Amino acid sequence: MDLKNTVLHGEHTRLNALMAPFAGWNMPIHYGSIIEEAKFTRVSAAAFDISHMGEFFVTEDPARSTLDEAITNPVLKMKEKTCRYGFLLNANGTVMDDLIVYRLAPDKWMIVVNASNIERDAKAISSVLSKDTFFMDASDATVKIDLQGPKAMEVMKKIAGDGIKKLKYFTFDIFSVLGQDSVISRTGYTGELGYEIYVSRDTGLELWKKLLEDPLVKPAGLGARDILRLEAGLPLYGDELTDSVTPLDAGMEKYIDFGKEFTGREALLRHKNNIKRMLTGLQIEGRRTPRHTNKVMAGGKEAGFVTSGVFSPHLNRGIGFMYLDRELITEGAQVTIALDKGEAKGSVITPPFIKNTSIRYQEA
Amino acid sequence: MEIKEGCFYSKEHEWVKIEGTSAKVGISDYAQHKLGDITYVDLPKTGKEVKQFEILTGIESVKAASDIYSPLTGKVIAINSALESAPELVNKSPFDEGWIAQLAITDPAETANLMDAAAYKAYLDSLEG
């Protein structure tokens, strides 16, 4: 399959990025050092090209909403200009995708989905929507740039104006970005103060250049993004969330509103008392890295598997997520990880791994 | 890409520098570049004996865990313990501060199985060709 390039591809090449395939896209992994980029994000601000992700727009009469039945997010209870995390489920309750919904207006929503799932998500959601509902996949027309880090507000004020400081965590608004009205949300995937910026293809290139002109900003790739999201205890579709697990196995019941209809609801209710393994955090004693599919042993027996892991440059140790036999999940419980080469001792820890970040910072 | 004169190189991108009856071992600039940020070096135990091209120890980067093969037969007489807390020295200074182990060697003639700097450069060119 031919890889797709984002609008910013020329810029990544110019910056000597290491490019690699990700979800059908040719994406920047790093611009020199994954670890330096991860560290820089936690002290200043990093710009990420996230244009591969998908954006859908839905317009329908809220009195006869069908979107509300398609996904777990309570789209009718959401206030305007807020964001909400949730899931698109298969009928058997397993996760087809995790997504964020933006309520643009009483009758209008934007849904942000993972790149690898754009086509099947669009199909699954539109199959539930009524004929009168307007649905549009705007993924190809949208450039998404994430700006993340404690200095992100200072940077964004110069681009979107002082109003940006009023945005609270998991809210958004429309701002003029280089003369174009654009959605900017106070969200992200790093555990830091930051923004996700949705612009047209034309504005995207200009915005990227303008962000990188700021001495507070450096580009960061998907390698750093993976470290940052893991340190922040955030799951990744394909690793922690898959077609084989439900949000209940992943310990994410708080994002499910059982007070409304949604695809997979009955299956989840049936599964509730039948959960054998659950997702939990893993910290390694020392600098070795647990990796995707490594077996987890406890008391000499196989007790789970690692879904993803990284070396955390902020904790100077390996960290990760694992599915572990439910009865073994207690803070500090000892496990042994069968690594690709050798093994490592580790223990159960409740994420996030990094606390006291800038994520909820609000200017007085 | 730096290729240091006076070192011998293996096809697996280890370098060795002979100083009398001992030899320092590390990984080449090319190798550290390919591996990306080094996060862990499993330092071998002093006294460990190893034959040419056998596994000397392991190294881990943001990408993967890899083996390091011994470019010569010998016995580990010193290790670079600075790498325990600062494995990134392998990235920053692969030929100097990032050396991994020092071996007491018995057969310098084994260098015939290795490449000198010029041959290693040609080898890298062929890989990147």
pLDDT band at B55 (very low <50, low <70, confident <90, very high): very high
Q: Which two tokens stand for residue A141?
A: 């027309």
Q: What is the pLDDT of residues A20-77, one digit of tens each?
A: 999 999 999 999 999 999 999 999 999 999 999 999 999 999 999 999 999 999 999 9
Across the interface, whether the CB atoms of B37 and A34 are under 8 A apart is answered yes
pLDDT tens string B66-122: 999 999 999 999 999 999 999 999 999 999 999 999 999 999 999 999 999 999 999
Closest CA to A211 of A166, A173, A177: A177
Task: Give yes or no for B67 touching A (CB within 8 A).
Answer: yes
Residues of chain A with CATH 3.30.1360.120: 9-50+141-231
Using a CB-CB cut-off of 8 Å, the residues of chain A touching B62 are 34-35, 223, 227, 289, 310-311
Complex ipTM value: 0.91
* Contact with chain B for residue A288, Cβ under 8 A: yes
Cis peptide before A352 (omega within 30 of 0): yes
Closest Cα of chain B to A288: distance in Å?
6
In chain A, CATH 2.40.30.110 covers 276-349
- Domain at A9-50+141-231, CATH class: alpha beta
User: CATH classification of A276-349 is 3.40.50.12280, yes or no?
Assistant: no
Evaluate if pTM is beyond 0.90: yes
Chain A interface mutation, best of B1, B34, B35, B39, highest count of A Cβ atoms under 10 Å? B39
Q: Is the CB of B64 less than 8 angstroms away from the CB of A30?
A: no
B53 touches B25 (CB < 8 A): no
| CA distances for A208 relative to A115, A144, A201, A223, A225, angstroms | 20, 10, 11, 19, 17
Flag if B36 and A34 touch (Cβ within 8 Å). Answer: yes
Q: Is the pLDDT assigned to residue B129 strictly greater than 80?
A: no
Instruction: With beta carbons less than 8 A apart as the criterion, state whether B110 and B54 touch.
Output: no
Interface test with A, best of B32, B35, B37 (most A CBs within 10 A): B37
Domain B8-107 belongs in CATH node 3.40.50.2300: no
Based on C-alpha coordinates, what's the Rg of chain A?
20
Q: Are strands A277-284 and A343-349 parallel, antiparallel or unpaired?
A: antiparallel
Closest to A87 measured CA to CA, from A213, A199, A245, A209: A245
